[in-house]
Amino acid sequence: ETGVTQTPRHLVMGMTNKKSLKCEQHLGHNAMYWYKQSAKKPLELMFVYSLEERVENNSVPSRFSPECPNSSHLFLHLHTLQPEDSALYLCASSQDGHGGNTGELFFGEGSRLTVL
């Protein structure tokens, strides 16, 4: 138990569907992240939110739309995805920018997405 909870754990969707991934952190952190991990590839940083403001979007296609309503919740809205978007989507949180912290990332278990 890392303090970061992701739902659903598994999701199968068609290319025309709209779905959302949810992440919740119970650690009091002020930064949250979405990473994508495809088979045999390194983790790719998709989005970063710090203090609920998006600070980084690493050229992610617009069919992925993040939402951070507060410091504890992060969503990834999915629409008109492609089969190559099938991957493990990982949410993480950290305490950003304060002295005395390691900046350690705490990851959820991930949401395994399959696009048909």
Partner 1 sequence: LAKTTQPISMDSYEGQEVNITCSHNNIATNDYITWYQQFPSQGPRFIIQGYKTKVTNEVASLFIPADRKSSTLSLPRVSLSDTAVYYCLVGEAPSSASKIIFGSGTRLSIRP
What are the residues binding partner 1 (CB under 8 A)?
Answer: 2, 4, 31, 33, 35, 42-43, 45, 48-50, 55-56, 88, 90-92, 94-110, 112
Nearest residue to 93 via CA among 28, 9, 1: 28
| Least CB distance to partner 1 at residue 80 (A) | 26
Residue number, 29 or 115, with CB nearest to partner 1: 29
Residue number, 73 or 79, with CB nearest to partner 1: 73
DSSP states of 18-39: EEEEEEEE-S--SEEEEEEE-T
Chain centroid to CA 14: 20
| Least CB distance to partner 1 at residue 50 (A) | 4
d(CA 52, CA 67): 9
| Least CB distance to partner 1 at residue 106 (A) | 8
The pair of structure tokens assigned to 96 is: 């950003």
Residue number, 80 or 113, with CB nearest to partner 1: 113
